[in-house]
Amino acid sequence: MKKSLLIVITMIMTFTSCESLLKNSDEEYFFKADDGLAYKYSDFELYDSSTHIAYFKTNHPEFKTDKASTFSLLVHEEEIYKGVFWPMYYNSLPTGPFIYTFPSFYPDYAFRIEFMIAGNNPVDTRNDPRIISALKEHNLLHSGLSAVINSIDIAGTRLTFKFTVTNRDISDLLIIDPDKTGPELFHYFTNGLSIRSITSEEVFSSNIQPRTPSPWNSWDIDWLSELKLGDSRQFTINYTISSPLNSGDYQAYFQFPGLSYQVTQDQLFQGNKRIWLGDIRATKKMLL
């Protein structure tokens, strides 16, 4: 009897200890800035590792700043990497991680950590394994989308471009569907396909005339399609090309877009589906 009682007490103490550790872990800081801004893991709804966008649980207008200052991402109070706030009206870009502010492409319940490779800072630390592990621990990690270029076929003046988008997230997502928007409106959100030679000289870029939404800061649920967890969808876009490409090595680039500033916090979730914000890049080497 005493042995059974001891086992029960041990189990209770273990459970209480684990619960306490998890609670303390939630109170750890994930994001700090040198201007005094500091946010705990428990302040966030999710983090999308495909776009490096962090979503707060509530609006944080104080996060938007017009000053160039620094921030840090932390795991168990250890700084994993440091970056800078960078107002968009500056006529230069920093190297390494940075957050565009004042103005921002994103509403005040979200921020995106950008990265510029240059000089002696070639390593992108935004998805450092320690950060990914900590986000999983706090049930904040979402993997968003991936995109690949399937094919680029040229016949005369017609260029047929096919790409596939896959939902890598733990949630069903709503994505911009070029078949629903039409190519003109779709290209308001993206620069479309571009092709460069091996010498980095651009030989083709999208020539579809973009159409601006009316009003310009609006969006429509009819532009979006549901992409369930684990599902993929292939899309085709047709371009015209004025002259054939010479034989050689090329690199193709494409930015698959999502919505951004248009979506308010109460619109982000449509039932159990999340509107995917941001954009992701796909590249493909071509030999003609």
Q: Is residue 188 part of a domain?
A: yes
Which pLDDT band holds residue 6 (cuts at 50, 70, 90)? very low
| 164 and 133, same domain (yes or no) | no
- The Cα 163–Cα 146 span in angstroms is 11
Q: pTM value?
A: 0.88
Q: What is the CATH number of the domain that holds 175?
A: 2.60.40.2360
Chosen domain end from 81, 109, 137: 137
Q: Is residue 39 part of a domain?
A: yes
pLDDT for 66 equals: 66
Q: Is residue 12 part of a domain?
A: no
- Long-range contacts of the stretch 215-224 (C-beta < 8 A, 24+): 217/261, 217/262, 218/262, 219/259, 219/262, 219/263, 221/174, 221/270, 222/180, 223/176, 223/177, 223/180, 223/181, 223/185, 224/174, 224/175, 224/176, 224/177, 224/180, 224/275
pLDDT for 2 equals: 45
| 233 and 149, same domain (yes or no) | yes
| 71 and 50, same domain (yes or no) | yes
CB-count exposure of residue 178 (10 Å: 0-12, 13-18, 19+): buried
Per-chain mean pLDDT for the chain: 89
| 64 and 82, same domain (yes or no) | yes
- The Cα 97–Cα 115 span in angstroms is 4
Q: Is residue 16 part of a domain?
A: no
| 256 and 132, same domain (yes or no) | no
| 169 and 184, same domain (yes or no) | yes
Which pLDDT band holds residue 33 (cuts at 50, 70, 90)? very high
Domain membership of residue 225 as a residue range: 144-287
| 173 and 258, same domain (yes or no) | yes
Assess whether pLDDT exceeds 70 at residue 21: no
Tell me the pLDDT tens digit for each residue of 122-136: 689 999 999 999 999
Q: Is residue 240 part of a domain?
A: yes
Query: What would the two tokens of residue 104 be?
Result: 């921002």
| 172 and 278, same domain (yes or no) | yes
| 152 and 96, same domain (yes or no) | no
| 93 and 209, same domain (yes or no) | no
In sequence order, which residues have a C-beta less than 8 Å from that of residue 225 and are 6 or more positions away?
174, 175, 177, 179, 180, 233
Chosen domain end from 137, 160, 179: 137
Q: How many domains does the chain have?
A: 2
Q: Is residue 18 part of a domain?
A: no
Q: Is residue 17 part of a domain?
A: no
| 148 and 121, same domain (yes or no) | no
Assess whether pLDDT exceeds 80 at residue 19: no
Chosen domain end from 104, 137, 170: 137
CB-count exposure of residue 71 (10 Å: 0-12, 13-18, 19+): buried
Which pLDDT band holds residue 224 (cuts at 50, 70, 90)? very high
| 77 and 55, same domain (yes or no) | yes
Q: Is residue 1 part of a domain?
A: no
28 beta partners = none
- The Cα 94–Cα 287 span in angstroms is 34
Rounded percentage of the chain residues whose pLDDT exceeds 90:
72
Query: What would the two tokens of residue 8 be?
Result: 């029960």
